[in-house]
């Protein structure tokens, strides 16, 4: 029996190195005892050395790309069986490449459940981490310092830290958890596996949260089950507003009855003037919450960064709510800014021609941008495009994430480096990943190509023709992937070559 001792704190690499060596040496799953450090059965039993790699030709262990995405999530799970389960899947994948498509398979189903639980935990972390300011005011490096405490079910701190780095880039912060910590100081993201003690985090701003929460609570709209589903009780103890919830729920019914019983009072005189003014206002549209129309309305008033100040309007994405593919550009150009629609100017024409030649119906796909306001520099009567900076991209990612959450495309196409940076946490070079399908969260795939306006800027005619041809080939590949997606629920195992583990 080979015994493997792992730190087991959500790092894929340590499991992968051991699994690769074991699989290459032909050690079957039932002959491996996977243990997490600190949980050794026999305190005096040393881990056995991993088997040496077989002599002669190195055995190459390959897996479908979807397995890597799955394994990255599953290793974060806190179930001690996760290493064994992953190794058994790896072992079985060597003789059955389509195994992950068999949703009824017990191993696949268990791994998918673990993946789901990790994703849910990660989602809760992004929703319920509450930073509290520590120290007083600005520190030596000119930045404010914040601390948050969170209690995840799984080892997700390292996995989620880049999300917080992007969202809270302009402040120093530490997120402490019993499963390790992450810290950001404006330059470096530091991760630690050491369990943290719960700090004392009372904050003068807590009463603001509580006042805010009590004021937005509408007793007439109370859906206690949905509310508790979204904010499960175990997170309450770390939310300043949570202890108000039972009281608000308990008092909701009597408040609604009191509201209904209250007599309508005569308006005061000056109200007539206000009512007259209100009657003359154009009727406010109010799309149902959770719809694309509501999101578009909300984004129309976006002031998350300074770009709204000079742009004509927010240029939101457009396309069907159930589009399988989402194309993401950089930001609206001059004509898009005036028209309020993405990709209707010169770059849009290049895009339209390439998609239609590839047999893609633009009306069937969702088209949007990483940044929703036009950034430009006025020069005489002209407005010259300026590339958005990473801060602006990070602010606008709020909207792009919401669009992705709502549309749930199976394939996202990043056109250009800005879209690529917005859609991936890693700093990838476009030329390294162009034409590839990269796994994203939730089983989604990302395809990377150039931005159509890059083609418009190439001065050399021959080079330009070559690049236009390449762009069209990318569109054809996207069309091919779209037809694969149309056939299967899970695209990942069928596209791309097998990846080296």
For binding to ligand URA (CB under 6 A), which residues are involved? Answer: 329-333, 336, 342-343, 345, 347-348, 369, 453
Q: What are 416's two structure tokens?
A: 């250009």
331: exposed, middle or buried (Cβ count in 10 Å: 0-12, 13-18, 19+): buried
Q: Are 37 and 60 in contact (CB under 8 A)?
A: no
Q: What are 112's two structure tokens?
A: 């998918």
Among 136, 99, 122, 12, CA closest to 442: 122
Nearer to ligand URA, 160 or 336 (CB): 336
Minimum CB distance to ligand URA, residue 377 (Å): 16
Number of C-beta neighbours around residue 85 at 10 A = 21
Q: Are 200 and 149 in contact (CB under 8 A)?
A: no
Nearer to ligand URA, 152 or 342 (CB): 342
Nearer to ligand URA, 324 or 418 (CB): 418
Minimum CB distance to ligand URA, residue 293 (Å): 20
Nearer to ligand URA, 10 or 348 (CB): 348
Minimum CB distance to ligand URA, residue 447 (Å): 16
Nearer to ligand URA, 251 or 391 (CB): 391
Number of C-beta neighbours around residue 335 at 10 A = 15
Nearer to ligand URA, 172 or 336 (CB): 336
Question: What distance in Å separates the CA atoms of residue 167 and residue 155, rounded to the nearest whole number?
Answer: 21
Nearer to ligand URA, 131 or 316 (CB): 316
Minimum CB distance to ligand URA, residue 320 (Å): 18
Minimum CB distance to ligand URA, residue 109 (Å): 41
Minimum CB distance to ligand URA, residue 336 (Å): 4
Q: Phi, psi (5° rounding) for residue 94?
A: -65, -25
Per-residue DSSP letters for 256-296?
Answer: HHHHHHSPPPPPPHHHHHHHHHHHTSPPPP-PPTTSHHHHH
Minimum CB distance to ligand URA, residue 357 (Å): 19
Question: What distance in Å separates the CA atoms of residue 423 and residue 425, rounded to the nearest whole number?
Answer: 7
With the CA atoms of 427, 432, 435 and 436 taken in that order, what torsion angle do they form, in degrees rounded to the nearest 10?
A: -70
Closest residue to ligand URA in the complex (CB): 329
């Amino acid at each position: 029996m080979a015994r493997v001792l792992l730190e087991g704190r959500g790092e894929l690499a340590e499991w992968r190195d051991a699994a690769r060596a074991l699989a290459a040496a032909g050690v079957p799953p039932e002959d491996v005892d996977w243990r997490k450090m600190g949980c050794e059965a026999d305190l005096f039993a040393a881990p056995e050395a991993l088997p040496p790699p077989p002599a002669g030709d190195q055995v190459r262990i390959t897996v479908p790309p979807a397995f890597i995405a799955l394994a990255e999530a599953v290793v974060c799970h806190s179930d001690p069986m996760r290493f064994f389960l992953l190794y058994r899947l790896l072992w079985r994948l060597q003789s059955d490449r389509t195994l992950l498509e068999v949703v009824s398979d017990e191993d696949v189903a268990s791994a998918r459940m673990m993946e789901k639980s990790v994703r849910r935990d990660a989602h809760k972390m992004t929703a319920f981490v509450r930073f509290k300011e520590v120290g007083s005011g600005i520190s030596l490096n000119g930045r404010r310092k914040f601390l948050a405490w969170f209690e995840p079910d799984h080892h997700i701190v390292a996995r989620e830290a880049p999300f917080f780095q992007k969202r809270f880039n302009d402040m120093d912060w530490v997120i402490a958890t019993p499963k390790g910590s992450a810290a950001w100081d404006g330059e470096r993201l530091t991760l630690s596996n050491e369990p943290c003690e719960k700090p004392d985090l009372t904050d003068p701003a807590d009463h603001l949260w509580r006042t805010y929460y009590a004021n937005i609570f509408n007793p007439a709209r109370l859906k206690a089950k949905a509310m508790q589903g979204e904010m499960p009780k175990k997170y309450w103890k770390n939310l300043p507003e949570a202890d108000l919830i039972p009281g608000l729920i308990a008092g909701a019914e009597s408040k609604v009855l009191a509201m209904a019983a209250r007599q309508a009072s005569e308006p005061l005189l000056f109200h007539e003037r206000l009512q007259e003014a209100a009657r003359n206002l154009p009727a406010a549209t109010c799309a149902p919450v959770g719809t694309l129309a509501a999101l578009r309305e909300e984004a129309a008033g976006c002031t998350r960064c300074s770009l709204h100040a000079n742009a004509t309007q927010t240029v939101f994405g457009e396309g069907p709510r159930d589009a399988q593919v989402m194309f993401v550009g950089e930001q609206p150009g001059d004509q898009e800014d005036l028209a309020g629609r993405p990709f209707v100017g010169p770059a849009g024409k290049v895009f339209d021609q390439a998609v239609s030649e590839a047999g893609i119906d633009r009306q069937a796909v969702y088209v949007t941008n990483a940044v929703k306001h036009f950034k430009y520099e006025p020069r005489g009567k002209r407005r010259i495009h300026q590339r958005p900076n990473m801060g602006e991209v990070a602010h606008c990612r709020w909207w792009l994430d919401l669009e992705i959450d709502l549309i749930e495309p199976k394939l996202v196409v990043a056109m250009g480096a800005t879209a690529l940076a917005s859609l991936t946490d890693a700093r990838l070079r476009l030329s390294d990943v162009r034409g590839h399908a990269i796994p994203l969260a939730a089983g989604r795939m990302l395809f990377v190509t150039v931005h159509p306006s890059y083609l418009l800027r190439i001065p050399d005619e021959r080079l330009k023709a070559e690049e236009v041809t390449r762009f069209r080939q990318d569109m054809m590949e996207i069309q091919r992937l779209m037809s694969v997606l149309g056939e299967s629920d899970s695209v990942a195992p069928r596209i791309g070559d097998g990846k080296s583990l």
